[in-house]
Structure 1
Amino acid sequence: MAEVSQPLGTLPLEFTNNQWNYIRSDSIALLGSHVNVTSMTITEKRKSLDGAQIYVRSPISSDGNESKFVKGILLNESSNTIKIQDESISDKDLFLNNAPTNHILYLEELPKTKFYVNFTYDALHDEILYVSYLRYDLNWITRYELNLYDDTSVLTAIAKIRNDGELAVSIGRAEIIGGDINLKIPISVRQTLSNHAEAPENLKSPSTRTSLLMAAKLLTVEQGEESYGVYVFNIDKPFSIDAKTTFLLPMFRAQVTVERFALISKHFSTSLSTNKAQRSYRITPDRFLTRGNCILRELNRLVGETLLPNLAANARYEFSVGEDADIVYKENLTLVSSTPHLEEEIVEHWNPDHDYGSSQVRENQLTRSLYTVNLQVTNFKNRPITLEYVNKINYYNGKVTLETPNKYGFIQDDSSIKCNITLIEQDSKIYSYNVELLH
């Protein structure tokens, strides 16, 4: 969605039906430093066809499969009442009511609905006024490419501006805003934009892709600046976007710190778990990143894709792009003991009518279970790996306690058990820990 601001022209402002479909009418505003808007009207108009010369299929003439059309005048468009003008049928006026629309031939193009916006206002005589409104057919997203090498990483950001409208758009100056901006788009408009979504890059013609890239070289997006919780990126040079066209503009190259690691992230289960580790990354950018898709390359080879959220400078973000077939794990649990446990809970009651409270002791019958968790990790690679293990133990109203110390370095983080593991090449090891669940 885009907010369009342009100098106020001759009133009333005129919009075609197609333009109006992509305008949020409640966002239309007249802007100025000293303007006082006293009224605004929105009018829908369409030229009537009443009195138009037409041809209509004769209801009484049919020669085999051929139909005869006679002259007529459309008296009432809404009811398709027609006055027939054909002396071969009758020298008197004949009228045809409720004629089927597909039986009528028009001698001119059918008029289209237009919308008119008018203002009454008070302003300074020499003040330049602007009209502003939101358009659904202009939108932008960020696209990223993260290229990783042995010792360096490069994150390239590209602004992808899309014109879904039927007409070209000329833009004198633009601000693209990144961050969490909540604006409502009607369901009908979302469906229309989805149905007219652009084709994937590999389905576009080479000439189209080249023209977009060549045009983008003429412009750049300035460094983003924070403004009340969002970031504003300026484009000071004028540019235009043809109808149904995507415009690509380079934004910036960010310095990012990237950690590669294998990840075993699972939910607690008493049954045997066997799976592969995830190929995971942890990135820390040096500047704000607005939400957008990111293509990931290792040594210029495509290895995955992820969606980056709005990310503050120096904030960390973790993501996974798929399984690593060379790192497998197997985890099984042994129940060491299970004993009943009676827990007392003090429940407070407050009576607002009498302004006093009371308390009572409630006994809860729980079970205390002690498990030994055995984790076997195998590294089939010809190089050492760094692996992070997370076991999420989610018990409603339950308590989790990791027995410490343990020789493998497992720690408890709230209700999760975590550990960092290093394995040499072609190695397999078993790690274990005890955990107590009160549930």
Structure 2
Amino acid sequence: MSQKVSGVKGMNDLLPGDVEVWQHVERTARDIFSRFGYGEVRTPIVEDTALFVRSVGEETDIVGKEMYTFDDKGGRSLSLRPEGTAPAARAYIEHSVGNQEPLTRWFYMGPMFRYERMKTGRYRQFHQIGAEAYGSKEPAQDVEVMDMVVQLLRQLGLSDVSLNINSLGDDACRPVYQARLVEHLRGHASELCADCQKRLERNPLRVLDCKNERCQQIAGAAPNILESLCEPCRAHFDEVKRKLDALEIKYVVNPRIMRGLDYYTRTTFEFIAAHPVLGTASTVGGGGRYDKLVKSLGGPDVPAVGFGLGLDRLCLLLKESGQHFGRPTDLFIAVADEGSADVAFTLASRLRREGLRVEFDTRGGSLKSQMKRADKVGAIFALVIGEAERQSGQAQLKPMAGGEPMPVRLDELANTLRTRLTPA
């Protein structure tokens, strides 16, 4: 007996019944983002490992512990992408997009990969919807990308998600804050987890991201980064808040919002859901400004801002909302006898060409079993074809939700269905 082959742990199948929710989110995102003038970009799943070492940061957990990295047959070190911003920036540079579009707005959708501890809404293959805007250093651009997420969440009917914002400062003021933070952390060094003891020396800001309970307590008593902002960074952050207020977008100023990637400067933000279905994985998305990233990857000195949303988590929230997705089956065609199968099969094909969703069970079977199938697929109408229907060219259109069947000519069936399916 051959051994059963299972899927890779943390990399999930999406089956009919679930995938319609995903398609709904993707369609809605494409619609919202196009209203803002963002075009879709698709980058490879595999990139040169150096891209993420240089952009995400060698001392981050993503690069140090979580990336799927391997040598290909040419001896090159490649990695499955753990996030979407660095690949988009690489494509922006490689194709000299800045020379053609001084202000460039992109969005993307697709799978990302990180080998991390799994929990609800956090998987090793996870999916993101993200957007990047290159070329504008203005606070209005920061607010525009946040507004896009707010409008997407509203369109999806997800109201119980809060926006948290912060500023990380820049090269002028962040070292001042980092020195104050290190002084605080060194007073508690022995109480930090083993990872944070290493971060204290290499990348102390990452201690503020740690999920260890004691590390969180120590970080909670740390100096407030907003108190260390230089005047230009403070003015930028104040203008971000002013524009959010002008758009009537509610937000919480949260100085502990750091994000887990090294390339962020100034504005950072997270969208946090209160729903218990996500457990502790309550952040459904986040992002911020990364004005030095493009230049650090060998491109022009171009400011940028963007975000990434966890599609897996958004879909979990939508499923809990009780909403229904996917278009129902318009018509199920059943056959009363074997001789009617060809007529029914041909009719189903013709109606599908007319744009209708039609189910037909190619296995045949008893009329009772076929009608059970019609009920299972959620058909709005059912129609039975037998010898009498073949001879007369007429049949009875049965509403599956109840009600009297109605006579219909088979050659007028498409028009009749469209009339019946159109809301009054």
Q: Report which of the two has the higher share of helix.
A: 2
Question: What TM-score, normalized by structure 2, do the two folds share?
Answer: 0.21
Ranked by relative contact order (alpha carbons within 8 Å, sequence separation 6 or more), the top structure is 2
Larger Rg: 1
**Greater share of strand:** 1
Q: Structure 1 length as normaliser, TM-score?
A: 0.20
